[in-house]
Amino acid sequence: MFGQFDVTLHRSSLKTTRLLRLFIIIMYARVGMKIEKTPLLGLTIDELKSVAAEVGLPAFAAKQMASWLYQKGVTSIDEMTNISLAARQRLCQHFEVGRRDPLLRQQSVDGTAKYLFPTSDGHRVEAVFIPDEERGTICVSCQVGCKMACRFCMTGRQGFQGQLTPTDILNQIYSLPERERLTNIVFMGQGEPLDNLDAILRATQLLMADYGWAWSPKRITVSTVGLRKGLKRFLDESPCHLAISLHNPFHNERAAMMPAERSYQLDEMLELLRQYDWTGQRRLSFEYIVFGGQNDTDRHARELVRLLSPLECRVNLIRWHAIPAAPSSMPSLSSAAPPSHSYEVPSLSHATPSLSPAAVVPDGSSSGLPLSDAVTFHEAVPARMVAFRDYLTRHGVRCTIRASRGQDIDAACGLLNTKEQNKD
């Protein structure tokens, strides 16, 4: 169909293709994966040009493949009907699209849907579709489990079992039954995006590329606890929105909840964020799970205002969802955290409620709380969350309360977990 392929002219392209395939095989091998065919989903236009050269197609066939993969969303090479049958047969010998249908779907009473997807190496990850009037959001996973070990998160309790490839990440989006309804993508599922940054940057690049899905970066948000090794690179290389998992403004208290704070402190992270312009299209937000009597006190609100008011940002308050079979003790945030049903809601316009001696913070800059005491997390009283939101807003920090979705199917924030599904 496309004429005789000139081996001499395309010798360098063939060499590039072989190196590309070797690179992909090595990348899969590093995460313990065996593949027989190279997935096309996840390749850039230049890499698809090399694939075209390997099977004897001209360079413009790469755009044809990209259109089938990223715009039409085909599931097999045989569906690429403007490529010759002979060329498709050659493609099928060494390549595949890489799409995998979800294994399980759970439907919440509020319309949220949770999907269990297989990965290239035989693991399982969860993704969540959240419909909301004219909006449709998918919450995407980037790792099998997570290394961050946040005390309040089911994924953190799962431990780390493997990285997802760009193909695995994109498959959650392209194989979503509600794909045509999507308006937003958030990388807030299982795993820490900055701990798998190469794959995240590759996936978002393909989502935004004119030959890909051609999405605006304003429709994509990447969430992180904040990792020193990856945050600056993400800020320099990606135009997507950034969400920081904050959850506590005091170092010791945050470290007790989120071990990542010990290697990259919040004040260092904020210093870096202040070096970037957030007044344009890229948005900065802070996620704040509210624990009753533990991080919703007056001093927490005042410290948040002190830290965040210099930034153009938004704070999203999130209700904590009790973790099934959670351990009875966790690192301390305060010496006496009352259960939510008996927690008295103080006014944020008055003085800070009485604190135990260990919780006193004379200079307001860091907490002296011990990390070894035991405490149980509690849900916050809704009225307290409203008062907390209003205090931040009155003092110049835009704040909203995020609606909880999918809790009845363990799809809400902090509840994703595939430990049982990934057992051998």
Q: pLDDT per residue over 304-353, tens digit each?
A: 999 999 999 999 999 987 776 544 333 333 333 333 333 334 456 543 33
Q: Concatenate the DSSP letters of all residues of 266-335 into one string.
A: HHHHHHHHTTS--SSS--EEEEEEEBTTTS-SHHHHHHHHHHHTTS--EEEEEE--PPTT--S-EE-SSS
Residue 294: which CATH number? 3.20.20.70
Greater model confidence, 355 or 393: 393
400, part of any domain: yes
Residue 343, domain member (yes or no): no
Please pick, among 146, 153, 313, 413, the residue that the annotation labels catalytic. Answer: 413
Q: Are residues 219 and 309 in the same domain?
A: yes
**Which of the listed residues 79, 96, 113 is the one where a domain comes to its end?**
96
Is 348 part of any domain?
A: no
User: Of 96, 125, 148, at which residue does a domain stop?
Assistant: 96
Q: Is residue 114 part of a domain?
A: yes
pTM of the model: 0.82
Closest by Cα among 280, 251, 277, 278 to 266: 251
At 93 the pLDDT is 95
Residues 6+ apart with CB under 8 A from 288: 246, 247, 295, 304, 315, 316, 317, 318
Tokens read off for 45: 């236009």
Do 78 and 136 lie in a common domain? no
Same structural domain for residues 119 and 76? no
153 counts as catalytic: no
User: Phi-psi region for residue 98, left (φ > 0), alpha (ψ -120 to 50) or beta?
Assistant: left
Domain of residue 75, residue span = 11-96
pLDDT at position 148 over 90:
yes
* Phi, psi angle pair for 419, to nearest 5°: -60, -45
Per the listing, tokens 């969350």 go with 385
Sequence letter at residue 306: R
Q: What is the CATH number of the domain that holds 68?
A: 1.10.150.530
Q: Tokens for 328?
A: 């009875």
pLDDT band at 406 (very low <50, low <70, confident <90, very high): confident
Do 198 and 320 fall into the same domain?
Answer: yes
Q: What is the pLDDT of residue 22?
A: 55
Token readout for 367 is 């907490």
Instruction: Based on the fold, state whether residues 33 and 162 are members of the same structural domain.
Output: no
126 is catalytic: yes
List the catalytic residue out of 54, 96, 126, 303. Answer: 126
Look at the chain and count its residues. 424
77 and 146 fall within a common domain: no
User: Both 56 and 143 in a single domain?
Assistant: no
Q: Which of 66, 96, 126 is the last residue of a domain?
A: 96
CB 259 within 8 A of CB 149: yes
Say if residue 256 is in the same domain as residue 289. yes
Domain shared by 133 and 82, yes or no: no
Closest by CA position to 199, among listed 161, 142, 120: 142
Whole-number Å distance between alpha carbons of 115 and 311:
36
Residue 34 belongs to a domain:
yes
Number of Cβ within a 10 Å radius of residue 395: 16
The count of domains in the chain is: 2
Q: Is residue 422 part of a domain?
A: no
User: Is there a single domain that holds both residue 205 and residue 226?
Assistant: yes
Answer yes or no: are the C-beta atoms of 418 and 125 closer than 8 Å. Answer: yes
Is residue 188 one of the residues assigned to a domain? yes
